[in-house]
Amino acid sequence: MWDTVFMFSTSVLELFLRGTVMYLAVFLLMRFLGRRESGDLNASDIILVVLISEAASPGLGGEATSIFDSLVVVGTVLFWATLLDMGIYRWAWLDNLTAPRPRPLIRNGKIVHKTARREFLTKDEILSN
């Protein structure tokens, strides 16, 4: 029993490729489909993160049954996240490519209703801050 827990059940290269594809796919989906950004996390943001991780887990692990399989996938995701952060720090063009465009809520002292609708914010919510 213990030999299956601590031995690789899937090739390391396959696990690395699965982690790479899933990380990049989720990153691109979140970047280009848009996301609502705020200074803090609320309950719906946390639920979204949990659901994304649950949806991605079969693609990440495949038929993995070993602890080391999971560690390789986690390491792969952390590797790409760190590499992307380093690239964004070093090259401004990568930061411009990956960072969402600003969406002003107020322009020339007036509420931009198109942005407010896109962000699901009411006039009262905007004026309360």
Mean pLDDT per block of 10 residues along the chain (129 residues) reads 70 87 79 57 56 64 67 79 89 86 87 88 85
List, as one string, the DSSP characters of 7-71: S-SS-HHHHHHHHHHHHHHHHHHHHHS-----SS--HHHHHHHHHHHHHHHHHHHTT--SHHHHH
Looking at residue 50, its pLDDT comes to 65
Looking at residue 91, its pLDDT comes to 95
Looking at residue 92, its pLDDT comes to 93
Query: pTM for this one?
Result: 0.59
Looking at residue 113, its pLDDT comes to 92
